Amino acid sequence: MLNQYPFELIKLPYAVGDLEPVIDKQTVEIHYGKHHQAYVDNLNKLLAEKPELQGKTLEELMNSEVPAIKNNAGGVWNHDFYWQEMEKPGEEMLPENLKEKIEKKFGSMDEFIKLFEANALGRFGSGWGWLVKDEKGELEIMSTANQDNPLSLGKKPLLGIDVWEHAYYLKYQNRRAEYVKTWWQLVNWAWVAER
């Protein structure tokens, strides 16, 4: 993946239908092929007119003072992350080292999941729910609006759920809670632990 202009749509680490039945094939085709692609295309179009920014990374562009550049760079980065953190349902178990860290911070996996879901469901409108590592290396649950990203706040994303309607509406309609609860079946815990 190029981390400088011109940016490219990442290749999915699985086939578009592999996230079924949790996320249907049509949603992946539209979310990845239309929404994610639009962020890439829009960012490249904006940067074509700003050669002074073309050498910057996505992470640097997410802090741009130009709102359109910031939003599209965040859209590219967040979606690159989202597709990579998932895999076919039921593929992975939670690595023990990550489980221990989560339990130490939140008390139990059940409590962590409950807090993470409440955070994601509490995001008004469009945005993301995150598990991050803060500046001190501590785990924290947070959310961001639109295509904002925890990196801009000095926090490292470990796990993130897209709660924009385009991530779930074809299958779940207005049932965001059902999407959030079912989404856990897709998490690639080994990938999260590696981060």
Gap between the Cα atoms of 72 and 87, Å rounded: 25
Q: Do 68 and 158 belong to one domain?
A: no
Domain count, the chain: 2
Within 8 A by CB and 6+ apart from 22, the residues are: 89, 182, 183, 185, 186
Q: Do 66 and 101 belong to one domain?
A: no
Instruction: Tell whether 179 is covered by a domain.
Output: yes
Q: Order of strands, edge to edge, in the sheet holding 127-133?
A: 139-145, 127-133, 156-162
Residue 43's CATH number:
1.10.287.990
Question: Is the confidence at residue 1, as pLDDT, over 60?
Answer: no
Q: Which domain holds residue 185?
A: 96-194
Q: Do 183 and 103 belong to one domain?
A: yes
Instruction: Tell whether 137 is covered by a domain.
Output: yes
Predicted TM-score (pTM) of this structure: 0.96
According to DSSP, the β-strands at 139-145 and 127-133 are antiparallel
Instruction: Tell whether 72 is covered by a domain.
Output: yes
| Mean pLDDT of the region 40-51 | 97
Residue 150's CATH number:
3.55.40.20
pLDDT tens profile 82-134 = 999 999 997 668 899 999 999 999 999 999 999 999 999 999 999 999 999 99
